[in-house]
Amino acid sequence: MMSPLGVILAGGKANRMGGGDKCLLPLMGRLVIDHVIERLVQQVPKIVINANGDLTRFNSFGLPSVPDSIVDFPGPLAGVLAGLDWAATQGATHIVTVAADTPFFPTDLRIKLEAAQDVHFKLITLAATVGVGGLNMHPTFGLWPVGLREDLRRQLRLGVRKVVHWAEQHGKGEAIFNAIGHDPFFNINTPDDLIQAEAMR
């Protein structure tokens, strides 16, 4: 497998934050998405931002951006499809997706996703954590083959919205990360989450 390309999923509506882009909020003297880019750029050769609305607001980051091709905010699977379509134009075979509101995700995400894929022989590998409450899936963090993009397009048009449901149709593996003491997939959904993230420096 050639090196997967990176896709930052920033297409959500951020209802619990009051709307707008969560990833463009300030965190530790920078923006949330700056932390996301910093971690992802170490792991993949190219990155694209998936977002909706006026994409020029992301121009300052020096990365390409692509909108959902399925209208009405159908959820993260539409962002995965946009990333797969972009990766196809780059000649890539796989993408790694990360959420734009999760500034502390693991710097070995790609390595562990690929290792889990090799072990489990599954087409799709998603991140999961094991903590006090057991196994917790993080379906916006995954390794996806470009070859499934047409099937995903069909499924989205048929109304499929849940990431895990679609992934399980093709065989889903899991890359396990430790979340005891600190959840590396802590994401910022509310103003209180942003305050908590500031304390996690």
Cα separation of 102 and 34, whole Å?
11
Q: Which of these, 93, 91, 85, lies nearest to 114 by C-alpha position?
A: 93
Asked if 36 contacts 24 with a C-beta cutoff of 8 angstroms, the reply is: no
Biggest CA–CA distance in the chain, Å, is: 43
φ, ψ at 183 (rounded to 5°):
-90, 110
Reported as a pLDDT band with limits 50, 70 and 90, residue 1 is low
CATH of 5-198, picked from 3.20.20.30, 3.30.870.10, 1.10.510.10, 3.90.550.10, is 3.90.550.10
Q: Which of these, 18, 34, 11, 6, lies nearest to 197 by C-alpha position?
A: 34
pTM of the complete model: 0.94
Return the higher-pLDDT residue of 188 and 2: 188
Structural tokens at position 29? 């003297």
pLDDT tens digits for range 149-191: 999 999 999 999 999 999 999 999 999 998 877 889 999 999 9
The amino acid sitting at 100 is A
What percent of the chain is modeled with pLDDT above 70?
94
Q: Which of 31-40, 65-74, 159-168, 186-195 has the lowest mean pLDDT?
A: 65-74
User: For 109-148, where are the alpha helices, taking DSSP H only?
Assistant: 109-120
Reported as a pLDDT band with limits 50, 70 and 90, residue 6 is very high
| Residue ranges per structural domain of the chain | 5-198
* Model confidence at 73: pLDDT above 80: no
Asked if 152 contacts 166 with a C-beta cutoff of 8 angstroms, the reply is: yes
Return the higher-pLDDT residue of 124 and 131: 124
